[in-house]
Amino acid sequence: MAERIVTFEIKRQANPDAPATWERFELPWRAGMNVISAMMEIAANPVTADGRATTPISYDSNCLEEICGSCAMKINGKARMACSALVDNLEQPIRVEPLTKFPLVRDLQVDRSVLFENLMRVKAWVPVDGTYDLGSGPRVYPQQQEVNYPLSNCISCTCCMEVCPQFNVATGFVGAATIAQVKLFNNHPTGKVLKEDRLRALSGDGGIQECGYAQNCVQACPKQIPLTNAISDIGRDVAVQKLKDWLKS
């Protein structure tokens, strides 16, 4: 019986200034094969379908189980995690290209540090005053846990930002992931001491007002984070904060 072959078309670009090209690769099919395992095979033996030796493909990955968030890329035109993209569920040739909203590093690798800059801008952390023993933390009730746990599943993959029509240089929009983390940390009994700072950080240019509520983000999120709920809730909180600040001024 003829061996089953899986065909990939991969966008290649040696550096941000180099011209982009597409290369075709063929690999023998294996049960359970996913896009990252295919990238590993190609990296180990970088030879194109027409037998030409090429450079190994550059890409990010780590956990291989949709936890670290590093392997986001466009697969058949859709932003998703390569480690959970099973070859059997994809139309061939499987076209793989880098995310388009972030500066390219090389091939499928992009620089997504803007998400971490945005998280710093909104103080997406629980402040801890010193490294001494602070005793047990405040009680978090099950009802609060049910709201917060899904938000805490964000893996910083940036798929929500890639698909968002408002996430671009012109708007400077922070994107859905950052807004969801504001909700998470504002809900936290200790984290909420920075609530007003976070809401103010989202009230100006690039803040929540940039969201057009197109809801692409919630559909693209691999962790099913309730992003549009978070955007509505934080939108209301930002409006209330603005009103309070105006009344005080």
**Footprint of ligand FES (CB under 6 A):** 61-64, 66-71, 81, 83
213 binds, among ligand FES, ligand SF4, none (CB under 5 to 8 A by kind): ligand SF4
- The footprint of ligand SF4 on residues 162-201 (CB under 6 A) is 164-166, 176-177, 180
For residues 38 and 25, give the distance between their C-alpha atoms in angstroms, rounded to a whole number. 10
Q: Answer yes or no: are the C-beta atoms of 26 and 52 closer than 8 Å.
A: no
Q: SS3 of 28, please?
A: strand
Does 209 bind ligand SF4 (CB under 6 A)? Our answer is no
Both tokens of residue 115?
């998400």
CB of 101 to ligand SF4, least distance (A): 11
67 binds, among ligand FES, ligand SF4, none (CB under 5 to 8 A by kind): ligand FES
For residues 129 and 189, give the distance between their C-alpha atoms in angstroms, rounded to a whole number. 15
Does 116 bind ligand SF4 (CB under 6 A)? Our answer is no
Binding ligand SF4 by CB under 6 A: which of 215, 229, 232, 242? 215
For residues 195 and 183, give the distance between their C-alpha atoms in angstroms, rounded to a whole number. 9
Does 214 bind ligand SF4 (CB under 6 A)? Our answer is yes
CB of 152 to ligand SF4, least distance (A): 10
The three-state (H, E, C) secondary structure of 110-178, written as one string: ECCHHHHHHHHHCCCCCCCCCCCCCCCCCCCCHHHHHHHHHHHCCCCCCHHHHCCCCCCCCCCCCCHHH
CA dihedral over 75, 80, 81, 85, signed as positive or negative: negative
Q: Which residues, including other chains, have CB under 8 Å from residue 146's CB and lie 6 or more apart? A: none
Count residues binding ligand SF4 (CB under 6 A): 28
180 binds, among ligand FES, ligand SF4, none (CB under 5 to 8 A by kind): ligand SF4
Does 211 bind ligand SF4 (CB under 6 A)? Our answer is yes
CB of 91 to ligand SF4, least distance (A): 23
* Contacts with ligand SF4, residue ranges (CB under 6 A): 154-160, 164-166, 176-177, 180, 211-217, 220-223, 225, 227-228, 231
